[in-house]
Amino acid sequence: MLGQRPQPSTLTSEVWDLIVIGGGITGAGIFLEAARRGQRVLLLEQQDFAWGTSSRSSKMVHGGLRYLGQGDIRLTRDSLRERERLLKELPDLVVRHPYLFTIRRGRFPGRWAMKAVLWLYDFLAGIRDHHWLSVDRLLAQLPGLNSDGLVGAMRYTDALTDDSRLVARVLHEGCLHGGQACNYVEVTQISSANKVFTLSVKDRHKEDSAKEDSSKKEDDSKESSKEEGATLTLQTRHVINATGAWADQLSGSEKKVRPQRGSHIFVPALRLPVDECLAILHPDDNRPVFVFPWEGVTCIGTTDLDHSADLSFEPICSRAEIDYLLRLVNSQFSQVPLQDKDIISTMAGVRPIIASGKGIDPSKERRDHEVWEKDGVITVSGGKLTTFRLIALDALQAAGLINPVEYKHSQATTKPMFEFAVQAPQQLGHPLAALPTGAALREQIDWVLRYEMVVHLDDLLLRRTRVGNVLAQGGQQVLAEVRPLCQQHLGWSDEQWDAEASRYMNIIQRYYSVPSSNTAAADTA
Ligand SMILES: Cc1cc2nc3c(=O)[nH]c(=O)nc-3n(C[C@H](O)[C@H](O)[C@H](O)COP(=O)(O)OP(=O)(O)OC[C@H]3O[C@@H](n4cnc5c(N)ncnc54)[C@H](O)[C@@H]3O)c2cc1C
Describe the chain by its helix, strand, coil percentages, rounded to 5. 40, 25, 35
Ligand 1 site-directed mutation target among 42, 48, 49, 57, most atoms within 8 Å of CB: 57
Q: Hey, is 118 helix, strand or coil? A: helix
How far apart are the C-alpha atoms of 345 and 265, rounded to whole Å? 6
Q: In 3D, which of 161, 170, 149 has the Cα closest to residue 45?
A: 170
Q: What is the pLDDT of residue 364?
A: 77
Q: In 3D, which of 307, 359, 316, 275 has the Cα closest to residue 99?
A: 275
Ligand 1 site-directed mutation target among 51, 205, 241, 246, most atoms within 8 Å of CB: 246
How far apart are the C-alpha atoms of 61 and 84, rounded to whole Å? 9
* Cβ 186 under 6 angstroms from ligand 1: yes
* Cβ 23 under 6 angstroms from ligand 1: yes
Paired with 264 in beta bridges are 301, 347
Ligand 1: atom nearest CA of 185 is 43
Q: Phi first, then psi: give them for residue 392, nearest 5 degrees.
A: -60, -40
Residue range 404-425, pLDDT digits in tens: 999 999 999 999 999 999 999 9
Residue range 225-276, pLDDT digits in tens: 333 467 899 999 999 999 999 999 999 999 999 999 999 999 999 999 999 9
Q: What is the pLDDT of residue 72?
A: 84
Task: List, in order, residues 6 or more apart from 406 with CB less than 8 Å away.
Answer: none
Omega within 30 of 0 (cis) for the link into 53: no
How far apart are the C-alpha atoms of 288 and 363, rounded to whole Å? 10
How far apart are the C-alpha atoms of 368 and 522, rounded to whole Å? 26
Q: What is the pLDDT of residue 64?
A: 85
Q: Using the CB atoms, write b or e for 292-306: b if 16+ within 10 Å.
A: bbbbbbbbbbbbbbe
Report in angstroms the alpha-carbon separations of 248 from 61, 101, 188, 309, 380.
26, 37, 13, 15, 10
Mean pLDDT of 194-204: 96
How far apart are the C-alpha atoms of 315 and 9, rounded to whole Å? 31
Mean pLDDT of 155-161: 97
Average per-residue pLDDT in the chain? 93
User: 10 Å Cβ neighbour count for 279?
Assistant: 21
* Cβ 86 under 6 angstroms from ligand 1: no
How far apart are the C-alpha atoms of 411 and 413, rounded to whole Å? 6
Mean pLDDT of 438-453: 98
How far apart are the C-alpha atoms of 393 and 402, rounded to whole Å? 8
Q: In 3D, which of 348, 362, 351 has the Cα closest to residue 313?
A: 348
Q: How confident is the model at residue 211 (pLDDT cuts 50, 70, 90)?
A: low
Q: In 3D, which of 30, 100, 90, 31 has the Cα closest to residue 65?
A: 100
Residue nearest to atom 51 of ligand 1 (CA): 57
Q: Which amino acid is at 276?
A: E
Ligand 1: atom nearest CA of 348 is 1
Omega within 30 of 0 (cis) for the link into 283: no
Q: Hey, is 321 helix, strand or coil? A: helix
Q: Hey, is 269 helix, strand or coil? A: coil
User: 10 Å Cβ neighbour count for 196?
Assistant: 13
How many angstroms separate the alpha carbon of residue 138 from the centre of ligand 1? 35
Angle between helices 163-176 and 25-35 in degrees, nearest 10: 20
Cβ-based burial of 518 (10 A; exposed 0-12, middle 13-18, buried ≥19): exposed
Residue range 75-126, pLDDT digits in tens: 899 999 999 999 999 999 999 999 999 999 988 889 999 999 999 999 999 9
How far apart are the C-alpha atoms of 105 and 111, rounded to whole Å? 10
Residue nearest to atom 52 of ligand 1 (CA): 57
Q: How confident is the model at residue 222 (pLDDT cuts 50, 70, 90)?
A: very low
Q: How confident is the model at residue 516 (pLDDT cuts 50, 70, 90)?
A: confident
Any idea what the Cα angle at residue 271 is, between residues 347 and 317, rounded to 5°? Answer: 15
Q: Phi first, then psi: give them for residue 130, nearest 5 degrees.
A: -145, 150
Any idea what the Cα angle at residue 228 is, between residues 225 and 231, rounded to 5°? Answer: 125
Residue 245 and residue 259 in contact, taking contact as beta carbons nearer than 8 Å = yes
Residue range 51-77, pLDDT digits in tens: 999 999 999 999 888 888 778 898 899
Alpha helices (H) in 53-162, listed in sequence order = 65-69, 73-89, 111-125, 135-141
H-helix or E-strand containing 27? helix 25-35
How far apart are the C-alpha atoms of 444 and 173, rounded to whole Å? 19
Omega within 30 of 0 (cis) for the link into 109: yes
Report in angstroms the alpha-carbon separations of 375 from 205, 232, 253, 290, 391.
30, 22, 9, 42, 21
Q: What is the pLDDT of residue 207?
A: 67
Residue 346 and residue 319 in contact, taking contact as beta carbons nearer than 8 Å = no
pTM assigned to the model: 0.95
Report in angstroms the alpha-carbon separations of 141 from 133, 210, 333, 511.
10, 56, 13, 35
Ligand 1 site-directed mutation target among 199, 243, 251, most atoms within 8 Å of CB: 243
Q: What percentage of the chain carries pLDDT values higher than 90?
A: 86
